[in-house]
């Protein structure tokens, strides 16, 4: 059955928004940097939040805001995953959840594996928890990015106590296979380590791509794993503050349940309300429309870059609305996004922030209209020809 792609809002309307995407740079700059999208909210979310405002339902988040049961139902429908809602706790956002779990499972000075190029807050989160980053870069096979399992094994053998996994991976859009995740779980189990899996982009796997939640990858993954996720990325409400910490084993559940009550209190009531609406069946059609739009844009971006910026190297992502693009051949230095913003009025995310592997790269947010995406790439192409 064909799905009608969701239509992005007109740019004049988008410029009325007051979020970072639309306020960091002046109006002549096309903002394709931060991970906010340009689509209208899911109707169920609009209705739920409107009702809350009209009621003055703006107080503290209740002891059970319903997000755990809503997510368990969503995971069953979308991923075929059997999640026990009694093993879920909630907090303000995914990085809050990650840092609290890291504090609980590591000691100060312990090393934590990250797999660059990777979401910049991963580095800060490890340090905030009192641990030390151990970099094991992704492997580029020439056609895909993969976890360097031998490198991770060496890090764990050398004493690293945890792996901070990004699945789907940001910025490459890689969806790790079940076999890869199971192998990672076996390594962690063998060395007495844990895996914390950031799965915020999980609802955004593209057609033909199967997303495997880490906890589902194998019995070992269920024992050693923690998943942290949120509706905020797919449904575009990062400012409302709600994320979920999911476990599948008695010991990992005990550790998460033992986190201070304040961890839950950081959840915003509007975030919880929006999450319940997002995870409901009522929002499935909206999400399908979003995925159809993003699928078109990820392919359109490949065509636009080939036409206007032929020196760019871009691998179509498995998931999400973020593109990892290598502009090294253009000779614009280690951080080409700076030149592009200053001279082409297009704001992209800075590649080196993702790790040294990001030199010469940019991250492009294609969660926008085809027209905006086309104009942005045409501006970059004009700069390349100048």
Most distant CA pair in the chain: distance in Å?
61
d(CA 321, CA 290): 10
- The predicted-structure confidence for 326-375, as pLDDT tens digits, reads as follows 999 999 999 999 999 999 999 999 999 999 999 999 999 999 999 999 99
Picking from 266, 281, 296, the residue at the C-terminal end of a domain is: 281
- The H or E element containing residue 213 is none
Same-domain pairing of 24 and 101: no
d(CA 275, CA 239): 12
Decide if 225 contacts 194 (C-beta within 8 A).
Answer: yes
- Name the phi and psi angles at 245, rounded to 5: -110, 120
Picking from 225, 249, 281, the residue at the C-terminal end of a domain is: 281
Same-domain pairing of 109 and 241: yes
- The predicted-structure confidence for 289-327, as pLDDT tens digits, reads as follows 999 999 999 999 999 999 999 999 999 999 999 999 999
- The H or E element containing residue 26 is none
Average pLDDT value for residue range 11-28: 97
Same-domain pairing of 298 and 222: no
Average pLDDT value for residue range 103-107: 98
- Name the phi and psi angles at 178, rounded to 5: -60, -40
Same-domain pairing of 69 and 15: no
Q: What is the model's pLDDT at position 324?
A: 98
Task: Report pTM.
Answer: 0.97
Q: What is the model's pLDDT at position 1?
A: 67
226 inside domain: yes
167 inside domain: yes
Residue 265 has pLDDT above 90, yes or no: yes
The CA-based dihedral angle spanning residues 193, 132, 354, 156, taken in that order and rounded to the nearest 10 degrees: -30
**Mean pLDDT in the chain?**
98
2 inside domain: no
Q: What is the model's pLDDT at position 61?
A: 97
Q: What is the model's pLDDT at position 198?
A: 98
Better-predicted residue by pLDDT, 210 or 1: 210
Domain at 203, CATH number = 3.40.640.10
What three-state secondary structure class fits 253?
helix
Q: What is the model's pLDDT at position 115?
A: 98
Q: How many helices (H) and strands (E) does the chain have?
A: 15, 14
DSSP string covering 94-126, please? HHHHHHHHHHHH--TT-EEEE-SS--THHHHHH
Domain at 292, CATH number = 3.90.1150.10
Percent of the chain exceeding pLDDT 90 equals: 99
What three-state secondary structure class fits 41?
coil
50 inside domain: yes
218 inside domain: yes
The CA-based dihedral angle spanning residues 305, 309, 310, 315, taken in that order and rounded to the nearest 10 degrees: -40
Decide if 45 contacts 373 (C-beta within 8 A).
Answer: no
Same-domain pairing of 81 and 228: yes
Same-domain pairing of 222 and 240: yes
Picking from 229, 261, 281, the residue at the C-terminal end of a domain is: 281
Q: What share of the chain is helix, strand, coil (3-state, %, to 5)?
A: 45, 15, 40
5 inside domain: no
Task: Find the domain containing 18 and state its range.
Answer: 11-41+283-385
**Confidence band of 51 (pLDDT split at 50, 70, 90):** very high
Query: Helix H segments across 258-369?
Result: 261-265, 269-278, 284-308, 336-344
Best CA proximity match to 311, nearest among 374, 371, 362, 372 = 362
Decide if 116 contacts 356 (C-beta within 8 A).
Answer: yes
The total number of residues written for the chain in this structure? 386
Per-residue buried b or exposed e for 256-271, using 16+ beta carbons within 10 Å of the residue's own CB: beebeeebbebbbbbb
36 inside domain: yes
- The predicted-structure confidence for 372-385, as pLDDT tens digits, reads as follows 999 999 999 999 99
Average pLDDT value for residue range 139-158: 97
- The H or E element containing residue 152 is helix 149-157
Q: What is the model's pLDDT at position 192?
A: 98
Same-domain pairing of 332 and 233: no
- The H or E element containing residue 46 is helix 43-55
Residue 77 has pLDDT above 80, yes or no: yes
Average pLDDT value for residue range 182-200: 98
Residue 152 has pLDDT above 90, yes or no: yes
Q: What is the model's pLDDT at position 386?
A: 87
Beta strands in the chain (DSSP E): 30-32, 88-91, 111-114, 132-135, 139-140, 145-146, 162-166, 194-198, 225-229, 243-246, 313-314, 322-326, 346-350, 361-365
Same-domain pairing of 220 and 268: yes
Question: Per the structure, how many domains does the chain have?
Answer: 2
Same-domain pairing of 18 and 75: no
d(CA 318, CA 235): 18
Residue 162 has pLDDT above 90, yes or no: yes
Same-domain pairing of 156 and 275: yes
- Name the phi and psi angles at 167, rounded to 5: -145, 105
- 154 is written with which tokens? 């060496």
Same-domain pairing of 216 and 329: no
320 inside domain: yes
Same-domain pairing of 206 and 273: yes
């Amino acid at each position: 059955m064909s799905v009608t792609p969701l239509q992005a809002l007109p740019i004049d309307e988008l410029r009325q928004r007051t979020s970072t995407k639309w306020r960091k740079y002046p109006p002549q700059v096309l903002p394709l940097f931060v991970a906010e999208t340009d689509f209208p909210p899911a109707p169920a979310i609009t209705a739920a939040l409107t009702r809350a405002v009209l009621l003055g339902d703006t107080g503290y988040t209740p002891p059970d805001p319903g997000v755990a049961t809503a997510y368990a139902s969503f995971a069953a429908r979308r991923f075929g995953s059997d999640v026990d809602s009694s093993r879920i706790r909630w907090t303000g956002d995914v990085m809050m959840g990650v840092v609290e779990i890291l504090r609980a499972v590591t000691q100060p000075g312990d090393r934590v594996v990250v797999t660059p190029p990777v979401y910049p807050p991963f580095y800060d989160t490890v340090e905030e928890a009192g641990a030390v980053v151990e970099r094991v870069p992704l492997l580029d096979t020439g056609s895909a990015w993969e976890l360097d399992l031998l490198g991770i094994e060496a890090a764990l053998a050398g004493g690293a106590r945890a792996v901070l996994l990004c699945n789907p991976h940001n910025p490459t859009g890689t969806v790790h296979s079940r076999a890869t995740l199971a192998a990672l779980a076996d390594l962690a189990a063998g060395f007495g380590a844990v895996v914390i899996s950031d799965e915020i982009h999980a609802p955004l796997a593209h057609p033909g791509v199967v997303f495997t939640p880490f906890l589902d990858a194998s019995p070992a993954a269920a024992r050693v794993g923690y998943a942290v996720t949120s509706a905020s990325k797919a449904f575009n409400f990062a400012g409302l503050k709600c994320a979920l910490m999911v476990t599948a084993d008695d010991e990992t559940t005990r550790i998460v349940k033992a986190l201070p009550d304040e961890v839950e209190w950081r959840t915003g009531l509007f975030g919880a309300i929006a999450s319940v609406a997002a995870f409901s069946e009522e929002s499935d059609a909206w999400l399908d429309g979003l995925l159809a739009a993003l699928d078109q844009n990820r392919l359109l971006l490949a065509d636009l870059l080939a036409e206007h910026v032929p020196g760019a190297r871009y691998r179509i992502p498995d998931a999400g609305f973020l593109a990892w693009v290598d502009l090294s051949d253009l000779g614009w230095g280690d951080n080409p996004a700076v030149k592009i913003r200053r001279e082409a009025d297009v704001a992209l995310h800075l590649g080196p922030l993702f790790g040294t592997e990001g030199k010469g790269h940019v991250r492009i947010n294609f969660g926008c209209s085809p027209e905006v995406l086309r104009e942005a790439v045409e501006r970059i192409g004009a700069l390349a020809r100048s």
